[in-house]
Chain A
Amino acid sequence: MTDAATIQETRQRRWAYALLAPSAFWYLALLILPLIVVMVYSVGERAPTGGYQAAFTFDNYLNLGARWTAFKNTLTLAPAGTLICLLAGYPLAYFLAVKASPKTRLLLLILVIVPFWTSFLIRTYAWMFILGGRGLPQLLDFIGIEGVRFINTPFSVLVGIVYAYLPLMVFPIFVSLEKLDKRLLEASEDLGASPFATFRQVTLPLSAPGVITGCMLVFILLMGEYLIPQMLGGGKVFFIGNALVDLFLQSLNWPFGSACAMALVVIMVVTVTLYLKATRATGGRDVSLV
């Protein structure tokens, strides 16, 4: 290497460090340090007046069972919600990518994404309104079906989940289906495959990256969900997120709350890693998160 090249390389490196400095500081001060604080707090004790008191104990972790219902609800309803989003979203993505006319495709796609960009809170509130006592149940009452209650049940939480996250599932699947070479479908048909066989052997495997991305995005967001169970589950169907708000803002048990938060992060990292491993083994394709 010549001297000039070395000088240029050093200069480029210095530039890169200077450009990275602000974001590196942000990651350090607002991501790494806070997460370390959570870790430290999770082995601490609750001060008598609430908050944190220095200690080294694993009691908070051993006590996680006290919030078992929150963990159980999250670990059943988050995968269930992801699965329903997939089952409901795939046909729509297929319709948009394969069946819709190219002219209306863009408009229809934008129409799927628009709700995702409008206030999450207001959209969930709309379902509070619809599923609440004076909404659908009153309507059902009118036609003779009495005593149905939707709000504050796992059902209403699932409706809220599908409503909020369906666009996030449809979009990546659409992208992978749109890239699919339509001649492959014709070739499969020409070779005598039934439409179902074509779908199972050609379309589905080729759309796997989109399915994997969509499922991961929805699942990750669902694990930390707070608003949907809060608004549509009332006090009855609560997630880890709701337990965390209670522990940090109401009962002020920061150490136990920190242990719950750590458990949530660990569960998420483990499931996502296992999921990626399993899908890589079968699909063998690289998946990017965003």
Chain B
Amino acid sequence: MLRGYAIFVYLFLYAPIALIVLFSFNSGNNASDLQGFAVTWYIKAAGNTLMLGALKNSVIIATASAILATFMGTMAALALQNLRGPLRVLFDGLTYVAIMVPGIVIGIATLIALVTTFDVTNALIADLWPGEAPPKLGLGYGSIIAAHTLFAMALVIVIVRARIAGMDRALIEASADLYADPLATFRQVTLPQLAPGIIAGFLLSFTFSFDDFVIAFFVAGSQQTLPIYVFSSIRRGVTPEINAIGTAVMLFSLTALITAQVLLRRGKRPAQ
């Protein structure tokens, strides 16, 4: 009976995805009428410059925020391991808040804080600028990357700290006893042990940013990311082209997921 239930759940999980894939190969114009097999919609999507622009933006934003989050998060996790007292409690509390506060509230808070700051700084720049057209700060790449990095960084801190907690400290002491300087110990002992956690943190950050709609929706300004593009096309009406884009996006995420698995497995070996 339990087995039957499990099969039902897997059907529930995969039938909608299968449906999207199936309809992406539909030759007809109508989104919900299967008429024949064709790759028309993929060709059409591949030539859709608006979509490609949004995709490019998403890749840039996800890469930048994942790199920032991984570096800063790992650094913080390493520092927290040596800290005691109120500073550590405060930092842990902030990490907890960054993860707990809903994305939508982060989006709103970042939006109004940035808009308020830009109002002040733009007026200041306009006053001080010697030339004709003073540069204006505004929402865009920077604000999306900054907001995504916040959540992703908290995620990396949690993951890497868990990895540090599970690390064998005797190895570090052994390395020091064998006259390795702290930097050599870090490079040859600590880093290889933490690598799987750091890589997992990077990939999680990338996927989070690539998939995020709600934060970007608030702070994107006039920029488009892929989820924002897909959302507004769905609003305009369902077309088979969205199915093709969706299938491509799912394939991309799946590839990233498999890569993560392979890397994590490879990363585990030198640690043991």
- The A108-157 residues at the B interface (CB cut-off 8 A) are 108, 110-112, 114-115, 117-123, 125-130, 132, 134-135
B112-135 CB contact bits vs A (8 Å, 1 = yes)?
110010000000000000000000
Q: Which of B17, B76, B155, B158 contacts A19 (CB 8 A)?
A: B76
Q: B246 near A125 (CB under 8 angstroms)? A: yes
Flag if A34 contacts B112 (CB, 8 Å): yes
Q: Does B179 contact A (CB under 8 A)?
A: no
> CA separation between A243 and B103, bound complex, in Å?
14
A34-B16 contact, Cβ under 8 Å, with A118-B253, A231-B234: no
* Contact A123:B17 (CB < 8 A) given known A37-B116, A92-B6, A134-B32: yes
What string of 1s and 0s marks CB contacts (under 8 Å) between A17-61 and chain B?
111101110110111111101100100000000001000000000
CB distance B108 to A121 under 8 Å? no
Considering only CB atoms, which chain B residue lies closest to A35 in the complex?
B109
Q: Determine whether the beta carbon of B5 is less than 8 Å from that of A38.
A: no
A-contact bits for B239-257, CB 8 A (1 contact / 0 none): 0001000100110011011
Identify which of B3, B214, B231, B250 contacts A99 (C-beta below 8 A).
B3
Asked whether, in the complex, the Cβ of B75 is within 8 Å of the Cβ of A20, the reply is: yes
Contact with B along A158-170 (1 / 0, CB 8 A): 0000010011000
- Asked whether any CB of chain B lies closer than 8 Å to the CB of A193, the reply is no
Compute how far the CA of A232 lies from the CA of B170 in the bound complex, rounded to whole angstroms: 54
Given A27-B98, A120-B211, A122-B246, CB of A34 within 8 Å of CB of B9: no
Known: A23-B153, A122-B246, A248-B111. A224 touches B99 (CB 8 A): no
Q: How many residues of A contact B (CB 8 A)?
A: 80
Chain B nearest CB from A66 CB (Å) reads 18
Among B13, B79, B231, B254, the residue within 8 A (CB) of A121 is: B231
Among candidates B87, B146, B231, B254, residue contacting A30 with C-beta atoms closer than 8 Å = B146
Q: Using known A-B contacts A23-B76, A91-B5, determine if residue A121 contacts B158 with beta carbons closer than 8 Å.
A: no
Contacts of B211 in A (CB 8 A): 119-121
**A128, B112: Cβ atoms under 8 Å?**
no
Q: Is the CB of B75 within 8 A of A166?
A: no
For the complex, would chain B's binding face be called helix, strand, loop or mixed by DSSP majority?
helix
Say yes or no: A94-B96 contact (C-beta < 8 A), given A20-B79, A34-B109, A264-B102. Answer: no
Instruction: Decide: B218 and A249 in contact? CB cutoff 8 A.
Output: yes
Q: How far is the CA of A95 from the CA of B214 in the complex (A)?
A: 35
Q: CB distance B110 to A30 under 8 Å?
A: yes
Asked whether any CB of chain B lies closer than 8 Å to the CB of A70, the reply is no
Please tell me if B94 contacts chain A, counting CB pairs below 8 Å: yes
Stretch among A201-209, A254-262, A279-287 lining the B interface: A254-262
User: A37-B116, A127-B16 given as contacts; is B9 within 8 A of A88 (CB)?
Assistant: yes
B94 and A31 within 8 A (CB):
yes
> Which chain B residues in 215-248 approach chain A with CB under 8 Å?
217-218, 227, 230-231, 234, 238, 242, 246
Q: State how many residues of chain B have any CB contact under 8 Å with chain A.
A: 77
Please tell me which one of the listed residues A16, A258, A268, A289 contacts residue B79 in the complex, with CB atoms under 8 A apart: A16
A94 close to B13 (CB less than 8 A): no
Min CB gap A207→B, angstroms:
15
User: A residues 85-114 with Cβ under 8 Å of B?
Assistant: 88, 91-92, 94-96, 99-100, 108, 110-112, 114
- What 1/0 flags go to B65-109 for Cβ under 8 Å of A? 000000111011011101100010001001011111111111011
Q: Mark A264-279, 1 if CB is under 8 A from B, else 0.
A: 1100110010000000
Q: Give chain A interface residues in 217-268, CB to chain B under 8 Å.
A: 220-221, 223-224, 226-227, 231, 241, 244-245, 248-249, 254, 257-258, 261, 264-265, 268
Neighbour of A22 across the interface among B10, B75, B238, CB < 8 A = B75
Q: How far is the CA of A22 from the CA of B155 in the complex (A)?
A: 15
Say which residue of A120, A227, A248 sits within 8 Å of B108 (CB atoms). A248
Q: Is A15 an interface residue (CB 8 A)?
A: yes
Task: Flag if A15 contacts B253 (CB, 8 Å).
Answer: no
Given A34-B113, A122-B20, A166-B9, answer yes or no on A220-B102 (Cβ-Cβ < 8 Å): yes
The 4 closest A-B pairs by CB, nearest first: A224-B102, A34-B109, A126-B16, A122-B246
